[in-house]
Chains A and B, each alone.
Chain A
Amino acid sequence: MSATAASAVPDPAAEPQAAVQVEHLDVSYRVRGHDRLALRDVSFTIGRNESYGLVGESGSGKSTAALALTRYLPRNGRVSAGSILIAGRDPLAMDAAELRQLRARSVSMVYQEPGKALNPGIRVGRQVAEVYELAGLGRAEAMERSAAMLSKVQISDPGQVMKRYPHQLSGGMAQRAVIAMALAAEPSLLILDEPTTALDATVEAEVLDLVAGLRDEFDTSLLFISHNLAVIAKMCDRVGVLYAGELIEEGPARQVFDQPRHPYTMGLLRCIPRQGQRKDHGRLDAIPGFLPPPGQTQAGCIFAPRCPIAEQRCRDAAPPAFDVGPGRSSRCYLHAATADLPRNTPVDVQLPSLAEAARPIVSIRNLSKTFTAHGEAVQALARVDLDIERGETLGLVGESGSGKTTLARTLLGLIPPDDSSIIELDGEPLGADLRQRRRSQLKALQIVFQNPDSALNRRHTVRRLISRPLTKLAGLTGSALAERLTDLVRSVRMETRHLPLRPRQLSGGLKQRVAIARAFGGGPRLVVCDEPTSALDVSVQAAILNLLADLQAKEQVTYLFISHDLGLVRYLADRIAVLYLGRVMELGPAERVFSGPHHPYTEALLSAVPSLDGLRTDRIRLTGEIPSAASPPTGCVFHTRCPRRLASGICESTEPPLAEVEPGHLMSCHIPIDQLTNLQSNKRMP
């Protein structure tokens, strides 16, 4: 289905109608008396059984597009221009009854947080059956069909699950139930808005595979909305890139991502770390400037203020959508020059190499932490041994329940570990709680939190936020204080004019810089970075990651970098520790852990991450769900899901020790290393 054929009215007698046809759509919101355009002149078509991805950062309007299609805009939103056709019918012209019909039969939607999408007071089975009852089936038959649908989404034992309430399901299972509910009506269009963002990597892979499979089976068109380009690359035939409410590029997904024809798309792609890129070599490139405020209208191309090759004509008049190939379009006068787009930052930098230190800066032995919840003991960490070397970046990787956050918090003294745990800083044991530690110890360990909205006191000014550690931990006053403050502000690439502002006046990227400046203010030796870019937009991420790398070189600190995003970890980390259910599964140099041989869990984790390069690795499917930390499996905690479980039964009975399998590379697995290497290099699956 060509994008430029969109202007003709579909002939019902001829070829099958497009599932969705959007023409010159404007959507505006009325905010404090003014109309602000959230979508501007957006046109796209989704063919039958086609998967179309809508990609964009926050404020791009991608969710608005979905809401407009189902006519579920909030009270202050409306379609101010353009048209929408779903399977040839116009939802904007429908009355209430027709709209209900449309929603019940033709369009279904799946959202980000599955737990919240289900009514907490009604059993899951009833909620799925509701769809069938709407189609006219009786109660008993509806329940039967629901059970069938649930097994189709790979829920084993659907009868059991149907009797449960939503809070009793795991995230992955809940999302599957929501998908079942969505597909039960056999809609012609399925809209998915960030459906897997809230899920763990391995669960996400399962759900995405499920959606892809079901799409073929049900012959449904997909509109897949996400900020994650790799997921879109994996799931979609075609993609549209939204920037500040405009569709600036469109085309077959593979082509758009391999050879983008718009400076923004190119810039976006350069923000995402791919295999081979490292913090000192093949650096990520940031897009300068900021996203325009919502609804701001300006003459000329909306991306021009941030575009490195913008010319006068770009600023004078907004470019139309140029046809740049079969089924491809781009809103750029200079689309042909995209391939040679100049970078904003150097591609290679010189970072100091790690000196061989006599002693690790932090030494963790036998670290355990048990929580009690509802009278049960939950072991978040179990006998973890770990050394953090001076000046390195240690990446801490794991899914939910792995214990990585707990580890960081016990290290910092925010949570007291179980007795018999030993944490040492420079050879000296640290007190279990913050209050037992000396000022020099507090100075040495700091943290950058994930969410800057939560991590910065919204009533304090930037100046106060950054100055406090300077006075409290570094003990600076007077002119020394002022000098260091200015120096710090510059080194996080902010300006002194930001100092009197409060956090709510800053963008996400700026807020995180303030948080970083605060962490470095006291002159720390080790900084814990707890998912420092997860809450930020993709284009902002790159700048922050590079900033962290540069600061590390300048201030000579060690990083404990926690992330669920393996791509980021591969970019930044020197060594990697993989956690599962509170235990270290693997620990070693980054390239070794990634290239192999690696622990079966690491293997599965790596295969679950969608790659932007479109390289298809064989998916290692993990069976079952992550076990509950309250009752961990016996022996090796991973054995219940391990596809390489040994037949001898040793995996069920004995917990493998964390042993060195190569110099500097440790693993907790019973499989002998040469056998593992063999299996993994041949990609032989049992």
Chain B
Amino acid sequence: MTEIVAMPPGIVASQAERRDQPVWRMLLARPTFVTGAVMLLFWIACAIFGTAIAPHNPLAQQLLATNHPPSAAHWFGTDQLGRDVFSRVIVGARSILIIAPLATVLGTVLGTALGLALGYLGGIVDLLASRLVEAVLALPAIVVIFLFVVALGVSTITQILVIGFIFTPLIARTVRSAVQVEGQLDYVPAARLLGERPGRMMFVEILPNVIPTVLVEFTVRLGYAIFAVATLAFLGFGVQLSTPNWGTDINANYVLLGAGYWWETLFPALAIASLIIAINLVADSTEQVLAG
């Protein structure tokens, strides 16, 4: 039998500290999480099994059936090269769902390490690095991203690296604040008094306590990563592979809006929106459970 801490009953029990259930169970109890997770899983399934599920070959051009509106044969219509939009939407999940998560993981790992170092070590390095971070963040992220992409060319690796590096200072900033809050607690000097080295202090003592923050940041940034990848594709910097890509499809077809051919851009756009909303639902519930 464990000794339960006798808290004054007045405390409204919403603090995650009082939770006696594992995190995943609390998440599954929330409808927002479940909705988001289901939508997300749907798109992941499309990314993995897309070519098997899609009714038509997304690359097959039918030059006699270009720009057909939605019909029984083509639920989402056909684009200007006669390709089935529905199939393209399904298979198009793949490229976004490869680039965005990888970029986010990169940014999170680097950002956490940087945030730990800046938050714990502080001093002159922190002062200078913070100035640098602020300078970079003075520009709208999208401008910085496509400057680099223009400079370095478009490829999957470039996009992952660039988005990851842009995320690093953003995440580092949040982690740094969390680390500074932890530093106010007494277990930090207590550990120092045992002679612990800075490395151990950061990764064994402090990091476990900021993990919830990191997880929330990850889920939130994932949404932004998708946003960034899609926007880059729209601006013409999408990876020009043969596989369908929602952003590049929109980029190719939005000029046709004036002519009234709306389905070729609307459905990929809605796909992007639904994926982002799914991630936001997951991010929001994660934040509620871990931080609320």
- Which positions 421-457 of chain A face chain B at CB distance < 8 Å? 434, 439, 442, 445-447, 449-451, 454-457
Decide if A510 is an interface residue (CB 8 Å cutoff): yes
Q: A75-B12, A294-B8, A442-B193 are in contact. Are A505 and B205 (CB under 8 A)?
A: no
Stretch of B89-97, B140-148, B182-190 that contacts chain A:
B182-190
Decide if A683 is an interface residue (CB 8 Å cutoff): no
- Choose among B18, B193, B195 the residue with the greatest number of A CB atoms under 10 Å from its CB: B193
Please give, as numbers and ranges, the residues of chain B lying within 8 Å of A510 by CB-CB distance: 3
Determine the distance from Cα of A227 to Cα of B8 in the docked complex, in whole angstroms.
13
**Cβ contact of A58, chosen from B4, B6, B189, cutoff 8 A:** B6
Contact B196 A29 (CB under 8 A): no
Residues of B within 8 A of A (CB-CB), count: 27
Contact A67 B10 (CB under 8 A): yes
Determine the distance from Cα of A491 to Cα of B18 in the docked complex, in whole angstroms.
29
CB distance from A550 to the nearest CB of B (A): 22
Please give, as numbers and ranges, the residues of chain A lying within 8 Å of B195 by CB-CB distance: 434, 439, 442, 472-473
Contact B6 A454 (CB under 8 A): no
Interface string of B4-23 (1 = CB under 8 A from A): 11111110110001100000
- Which positions 454-492 of chain A face chain B at CB distance < 8 Å? 454-460, 468-469, 472-473
Please give, as numbers and ranges, the residues of chain A lying within 8 Å of B18 by CB-CB distance: 504
Least CB separation from A445: chain B residue: B193
Contact B209 A293 (CB under 8 A): no
Contact A59 B3 (CB under 8 A): no
Q: A459-B208, A501-B2 are in contact. Are A59 and B7 (CB under 8 A)?
A: yes
CB distance from B107 to the nearest CB of A (A): 24
Least CB separation from B17: chain A residue: A504
Contact A63 B8 (CB under 8 A): yes
Contact A506 B209 (CB under 8 A): no
Contact A457 B6 (CB under 8 A): no
The 3 A-B residue pairs with the shortest CB-CB distance, nearest first, are A459-B208, A38-B9, A455-B186
Decide if B192 is an interface residue (CB 8 Å cutoff): yes
Decide if A76 is an interface residue (CB 8 Å cutoff): yes
Determine the distance from Cα of A59 to Cα of B4 in the docked complex, in whole angstroms.
12
Contact B193 A447 (CB under 8 A): yes
Contact A456 B4 (CB under 8 A): no
Please give, as numbers and ranges, the residues of chain A lying within 8 Å of B194 by CB-CB distance: 442, 468-469, 472-473, 522
Please give, as numbers and ranges, the residues of chain A lying within 8 Å of B6 by CB-CB distance: 58-59, 290-294, 507
Determine the distance from Cα of A63 to Cα of B9 in the docked complex, in whole angstroms.
10
Decide if A31 is an interface residue (CB 8 Å cutoff): yes
Name 8 interchain pairs, CB-CB below 8 A, sorted by A.
A58-B7, A77-B9, A446-B193, A455-B187, A458-B17, A469-B194, A504-B17, A510-B3
Q: A38-B9, A295-B9, A454-B186 are in contact. Are A412 and B4 (CB under 8 A)?
A: no
Q: A290-B3, A451-B186, A507-B5 are in contact. Are A76 and B193 (CB under 8 A)?
A: no
Determine the distance from Cα of A412 to Cα of B186 in the docked complex, in whole angstroms.
14
Determine the distance from Cα of A134 to Cα of B28 in the docked complex, in whole angstroms.
49
Contact A449 B10 (CB under 8 A): no
- Which positions 156-181 of chain A face chain B at CB distance < 8 Å? none
CB distance from B4 to the nearest CB of A (A): 5
Determine the distance from Cα of A158 to Cα of B4 in the docked complex, in whole angstroms.
49
Contact B9 A32 (CB under 8 A): no
Determine the distance from Cα of A292 to Cα of B4 in the docked complex, in whole angstroms.
9
Please give, as numbers and ranges, the residues of chain B lying within 8 Å of A29 by CB-CB distance: 9-10
Least CB separation from A441: chain B residue: B195
CB distance from A309 to the nearest CB of B (A): 23
Determine the distance from Cα of A518 to Cα of B4 in the docked complex, in whole angstroms.
22
Determine the distance from Cα of A290 to Cα of B2 in the docked complex, in whole angstroms.
12
Decide if B191 is an interface residue (CB 8 Å cutoff): yes
Please give, as numbers and ranges, the residues of chain B lying within 8 Å of A451 by CB-CB distance: 186
Residues of A within 8 A of B (CB-CB), count: 55
> 6 more A-B contacts (CB under 8 A) besides A58-B6, A64-B9, A473-B195?
A36-B9, A59-B9, A61-B9, A291-B6, A293-B4, A446-B193
Using a CB–CB cutoff of 8 Å, the interface residues on chain B facing chain A are 2-10, 12-13, 17-18, 185-187, 189-196, 205, 208-209
Least CB separation from A58: chain B residue: B8
Contact A434 B190 (CB under 8 A): no
Contact A518 B190 (CB under 8 A): yes
Contact A505 B3 (CB under 8 A): yes
**Cβ contact of B205, chosen from A32, A290, A450, A457, cutoff 8 A:** A457
Least CB separation from B195: chain A residue: A442
CB distance from B262 to the nearest CB of A (A): 47
Please give, as numbers and ranges, the residues of chain B lying within 8 Å of A67 by CB-CB distance: 10
Determine the distance from Cα of A413 to Cα of B195 in the docked complex, in whole angstroms.
11
CB distance from A331 to the nearest CB of B (A): 20
CB distance from B28 to the nearest CB of A (A): 16
Determine the distance from Cα of A468 to Cα of B190 in the docked complex, in whole angstroms.
11
Please give, as numbers and ranges, the residues of chain B lying within 8 Å of A412 by CB-CB distance: 189, 193
Please give, as numbers and ranges, the residues of chain B lying within 8 Å of A518 by CB-CB distance: 190
- Which positions 24-44 of chain A face chain B at CB distance < 8 Å? 29, 31-32, 36, 38
Q: A469-B194, A472-B194 are in contact. Are A414 and B189 (CB under 8 A)?
A: yes
Contact B9 A472 (CB under 8 A): no
Decide if A508 is an interface residue (CB 8 Å cutoff): yes
Contact A506 B10 (CB under 8 A): no
**Cβ contact of A32, chosen from B4, B13, B185, cutoff 8 A:** B13
Determine the distance from Cα of A294 to Cα of B6 in the docked complex, in whole angstroms.
6
- Which positions 14-30 of chain A face chain B at CB distance < 8 Å? 29
Please give, as numbers and ranges, the residues of chain B lying within 8 Å of A473 by CB-CB distance: 194-195
Contact B10 A447 (CB under 8 A): no
Least CB separation from A76: chain B residue: B12
Determine the distance from Cα of A414 to Cα of B190 in the docked complex, in whole angstroms.
10
Interface string of A496-526 (1 = CB under 8 A from B): 0000010011111010000100100010000
Please give, as numbers and ranges, the residues of chain A lying within 8 Å of B191 by CB-CB distance: 457, 468
